[in-house]
């Protein structure tokens, strides 16, 4: 099973993103815009995980997630990997409460559970909106969206997701765990 852990933003936050990018969808040749149903913020990608590892992975993820508080976040602007001049991935930036410790805990739990290919890249909180097979100059797209700033929202749970690849990528939620309630101000 191809698995990852993610935060799925609330519908209202995704609505704002969708309205912001709608005029630009289809404008950049070669840029593929996945269905909104696949939008998420990846905390850890685990690759192919044997089914026998799943119970331990779920236990470890539950423990890791419960150690962290809900996060107050906002979508603030857009960017691209590897750069806006040579982009292959167009994304919305996520700011607010730091997500790094949560991502580190989720990845460590997956490693301890025996998930084989836990991604160890530096965590960069973002939501992927489009992809290109070839490097593409995305500066005009990013610049045209430079005034965007979304409304604050709260991340309250982490999902374990199975990715079904093929001509139409499909995601299946295998489990979800609540983050601890936010700390009082």
CA angle 78, 39, 46 (to 5 degrees): 105
| % of the chain with per-residue pLDDT over 90 | 85
Q: Which of 24, 40, 68, 124 is catalytic?
A: 40
pTM of the model: 0.92
Q: Computed over its alpha carbons, how large is the radius of gyration of the chain?
A: 17
Q: Which of 68, 124, 126, 164 is catalytic?
A: 126
Tens of pLDDT, residue by residue over 58-117, are 999 999 999 999 999 999 999 999 899 999 999 999 999 999 999 999 999 999 999 878
Q: Could you tell me which CATH class the domain 2-178 is placed in? A: alpha beta
H/E element, 59: helix 54-66
**The predicted structure's pLDDT at residue 85:** 95
**The predicted structure's pLDDT at residue 116:** 74
Would you call 27 helix, strand, or coil by DSSP? coil
Tens of pLDDT, residue by residue over 158-180, are 999 999 987 778 899 999 999 99
Active site residue 126: yes
**The predicted structure's pLDDT at residue 120:** 81
Tens of pLDDT, residue by residue over 6-15, are 999 999 999 9
Place of tokens 């419960």: 66
Rounded-to-integer distance, Cα 121 and Cα 78, Å: 20
Mean pLDDT (the chain) is: 93
């Amino acid at each position: 099973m191809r698995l990852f852990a993610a935060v799925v933003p609330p519908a209202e936050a995704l609505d704002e993103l969708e309205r912001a990018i709608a005029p630009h969808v289809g404008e950049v040749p070669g840029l593929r815009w996945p269905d909104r149903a696949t939008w998420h913020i990846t905390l850890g990608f685990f690759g192919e995980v044997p089914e026998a590892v799943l119970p331990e992975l779920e236990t470890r993820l539950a423990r890791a997630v419960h150690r962290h508080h809900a996060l107050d976040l906002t979508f603030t602007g857009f960017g691209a990997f590897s750069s806006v001049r040579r982009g292959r991935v167009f994304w919305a930036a996520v700011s607010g409460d730091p997500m790094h410790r949560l991502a580190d805990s989720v990845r460590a739990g997956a490693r301890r559970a025996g998930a084989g290919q836990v991604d160890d890249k530096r965590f960069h909180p973002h939501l992927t909106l489009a992809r290109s097979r070839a490097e593409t100059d995305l500066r005009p797209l990013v610049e045209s969206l430079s005034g965007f700033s979304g409304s604050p929202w709260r991340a309250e749970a982490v999902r374990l997701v199975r990715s079904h690849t093929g001509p139409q990528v499909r995601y299946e939620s295998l489990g979800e765990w609540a983050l601890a309630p936010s700390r009082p101000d």
